[in-house]
Amino acid sequence: MAHINNKYIKERADKMLKAWDEVAKEASFGGLTLAAFLVQWGKSEDARKVIELAELQRELAAKGRDLEDAVLAEFCRRVVDGVKADPAFGPNSALYRAMGYVPYDERSSGLTRKGPEGEALPPDAAAAA
């Protein structure tokens, strides 16, 4: 099926309906009466309303999800903070790692020693510097 520009079709049909109703209410064109055209126009409008309602419901559902995700993110932070504070586990535990975090003992310092041109020096040269 060829691509149909729904906005254009609606605008065109609305314009036709108005003109037909005002100028030639009793005439039929292409084997269709104004009443038959109006029935199909109504079906199209009903379908548009269904889509509009579905889009509104989707938008509301997405906003609800975002609110619930914000609460879930806070719960996640509380759980991770609890694992880090728990003496049986802590920030270097396997549980902390399994949750996707880097244990504190395995973190690099972030310190890099740059050479004269901004390049990082090899480890042995950095130790000698």
Supply the range of the domain harboring residue 74.
8-21+32-104
pLDDT one digit per residue (tens) for the chain, 129 residues: 567 888 899 999 999 999 999 999 999 999 999 999 999 999 999 999 999 999 999 999 999 999 999 999 999 999 999 999 999 999 999 999 999 999 999 988 777 777 777 666 666 655 555
- Residue from 92, 99, 49, 59 nearest 76 by CA: 99
Residue 110 domain flag:
no
Residue 112 domain flag:
no
Give the three-state DSSP class for 32.
Answer: strand
Residue 14 domain flag:
yes
Count, in order, helices (H) and strands (E) of the chain.
4, 0
What pLDDT is recorded for position 40?
96
